[in-house]
Structure formats: structure tokens, C-alpha cells
Amino acid sequence: MDEFSLIDRFWKPLGDAVTHSEVIEGIGNDGAVVRCPPGQDQVMTMDTLVEGVHFPSDMPPHALGWRALAVNLSDLAAMGAQPLCFTLSVTLPEASTSWLAAFADGMKALAVRENIQLVGGDTTRGPLSITVQAQGLLPAGSAVRRGNAQPGDRICVSGSLGEAGEALNWLDESDTPDPAVDTALQRYRYPEPRLALGQWLREAGSAAVDVSDGLLADLGHLLLDRGARLDWQALPVSDGLVSLRGLEGARRLAASAGDDYELLFVWPGGGPAPSGPKGSALPLTVIGTVTEGAGVTLNGPEGSIQLEEQGYTHFGGHHD
């Protein structure tokens, strides 16, 4: 199949699955044309997934399609943006129609659900690699930034942590399916971008990041030159992860493993804890407090451990 029939067969239908009035020209021209509505700011983000570096070689294409879009939507979520459109660069060793169909299906499921339109891209031959560049909108001046934390603010995280990391460990070590890790595998393959929460945080004027590298690593990105006191026992872990790893093992993963794509954010001290968007069932957990000086103190069962700046990476968070 040549490049053009491939575009017609897989990317055009994906682009037609969602339409936004802001998109003047989508797939088919040399470039897409998008009109930014007055009073809105445009947020842009990009993430590349390389086979063998960011995902294992046997990752099912349906999951890969979902995940490539999900990690970008997670960045839009962390900024408080509403998804608008994206471009997609696909580099493939060969044009397998069954592979492409599954990939496009996985991506379409999330694109339709989150109302984001594919407006263009590139299709080339080479080692498997996927790049998505996503764009979102928010009211002018309202983006949720990093580094907005004040001493005394609470540090909060959505959902639970560590499960995607457990799935990755498991994929590295074994290739026999084990139903006990199904939930963890699902979380690794199909990350859930926390878009509603991110947009809700915009109103609260707080700072946020998404947890892609691991809690401690991303906490450093959130706080910049501030520090934190974290409560080890508050780290939110799922029952499933606890049954696989024990409580302490689960918390260790929650502190260091990446790929969960929860939102980590600061919330003013005093007053009520964050409740999240109306009607949302996503749990929000206060896990610590922002401190004046740099460095992170972990208050655990054996007293408190001081993690210096290098402690972030030391704790295992990888970054590519």
C-alpha cells in the first residue's frame, strides 16, 4: 500500500471522526488551518514514543494508538486546556493493514471520547516511532503552570499510583500472561488523561504537572525551588497493587514509578481539601505540604528521610 492510499484509508477517517468549527482545513492540504477564538490561549504539546524505548516491542497496536494520544492529552490536562486538535507522525517499518487498523481504532476511541480532531501529520518508513502534537484551548491567561507553590500549600494527587510501573516491571521480566496483573497492564496500556480535573484546577489558580516520570521526579518539576514534606502513608495505592506487592512495595512503586498519568497539584493550605469537578468519582489525596526551602522530606513509619535534589532521580524515575 502506498503512502497516499494509507492516508485515505486510515488517517482521513480518523480525522473525520471529530470536527471542530475552529479547524478551517484539516487533512489534505500542505498544512492544517486552525482559528484560535478571541479571548482564548492556545496550548501546544508534543510527545514521541519510540519502540523499545517508550514502549515494549510487542505492545498491541490498539493500545499504542490510545497511549500515543493519551500522553499528549495528559499534558493538556496538566495545563488546564480543553483538547482541540492534533497532528500525528507515524514511522513504520512496513505498512501492515491489520496493524494500522488496530492502531487507528485505539486512537479513534480516545479522540472521539475527548473530542479532539486529527488535522494532519506525516507517514514515513523506518523504525517504529509515533509522535503526536496536540493543541488545546483555555481562557486567555488561565493556564495552570508549574512552580506556583507557596509554603503551607497542600500537595495533592489524583487516583492511585504505581500500577503502570508494576506492569512495566512485569513486562520486562515475563511473557506469560498472568491475570493478577491485568488491571495494572490495562493502566499501562490505556492511560486515562485527567482532563476534567485539569480544567477544574484552572479556576483554583493552582500549579499542576502530570505524573509521567514518577511522583518524586515530577514533584521536583512541580515545586521548582520549593521543597516538600510528604506523608509516606498517604501515598494512594490500589488494592490490586497492594495484593501484588504488599503495602510497602506498592508505596515504593507509587513514589518512584512513572507512566500513571495522574495529576499532581498544589492546593492552598487551610480551608477545605480539594473536591474535584462536580460529579467526578476520581479520588484526590493530600500527600504532603509545600515547604520554604528546597529538598523533600518523607515521613514514613521509620521516621523521616531527607531526599536531596538528586534523590528524585535516585529513587528510580527515568526520563527519556
Q: Which residues bind ligand ADP (CB under 6 A)?
A: 7, 11, 27-30, 88, 90, 118, 120-123
Q: How far is the CB of 17 from ligand ADP (least distance, A)?
A: 12
Q: Alpha-carbon distance 290 to 267, whole Å?
A: 10
Task: Report the run of H or E that residue 150 belongs to, with start and end.
Answer: none
Q: Which is nearer to ligand ADP, 120 or 198 (CB)?
A: 120
- Whichever of 27 and 253 has its CB closer to ligand ADP, that residue is 27
Please choose which of ligand ADP, Mg ion, none residue 167 contacts, taking the beta carbon within 5 to 8 angstroms, the exact cut-off set by kind.
none
CB of 54 to ligand ADP, least distance (A): 18
φ/ψ of residue 223, rounded to 5: -90, -20
b (16+ CB within 10 A) / e for 40-78: beebebebbbebeebbeeebebbbbbbbbbbbbbbbbbb
Q: Which is nearer to ligand ADP, 124 or 304 (CB)?
A: 124
* Cα-Cα end-to-end distance for the chain: 33
Q: Give me the helices (H) in the chain, please.
A: 3-6, 12-16, 61-79, 97-113, 163-173, 182-189, 195-204, 215-223, 239-256, 311-314
By CB under 5 A, which span of 28-36, 92-100, 122-130, 218-226 interacts with Mg ion?
Answer: 28-36
CA 222 – CA 67 distance, rounded (Å): 23
Q: Which is nearer to Mg ion, 15 or 83 (CB)?
A: 15
Plot region of 143 (φ>0 → left; ψ -120 to 50 → alpha; else → beta)? beta
Q: Which residue is nearest to Mg ion (CB)?
A: 30
Residue 120 binds: one of ligand ADP, Mg ion, none (C-beta under 5 to 8 A by kind): ligand ADP
Burial of 229 (0-12, 13-18, 19+ CB in 10 A): middle
CB of 32 to Mg ion, least distance (A): 12
Neighbours of 20 (CB within 10 A): 17
296 binds, among ligand ADP, Mg ion, none (CB under 5 to 8 A by kind): none
Whichever of 14 and 264 has its CB closer to ligand ADP, that residue is: 14
| Least distance in angstroms from the C-beta of 69 to Mg ion | 24
Q: Which is nearer to ligand ADP, 122 or 308 (CB)?
A: 122
Select the binding partner of residue 27 from ligand ADP, Mg ion, none (C-beta < 5 to 8 A, by kind): ligand ADP
Measured from the CB of residue 120, what is the shortest distance to Mg ion in angstroms?
10
Q: Which is nearer to ligand ADP, 85 or 157 (CB)?
A: 85
Given ligand ADP, Mg ion, none, residue 88, with its beta carbon under 5 to 8 Å by kind, binds ligand ADP
Q: How far is the CB of 148 from Mg ion (least distance, A)?
A: 41
Closest CB 130 distance from Mg ion, rounded Å: 21
Do the bridges between strand 284-291 and strand 263-267 make them parallel or antiparallel, or are there none, so unpaired? unpaired
Quote the least distance from Cβ 68 to Mg ion, whole Å. Answer: 23
**Number of neighbours of residue 173 by Cβ within 10 angstroms:** 7
3-state secondary structure of 73: helix
Quick one: 108 or 202, whose CB is closer to ligand ADP?
108
Q: Is 30 in the site for Mg ion (CB under 5 A)?
A: yes
The site for Mg ion (CB under 5 A) is made up of: 30
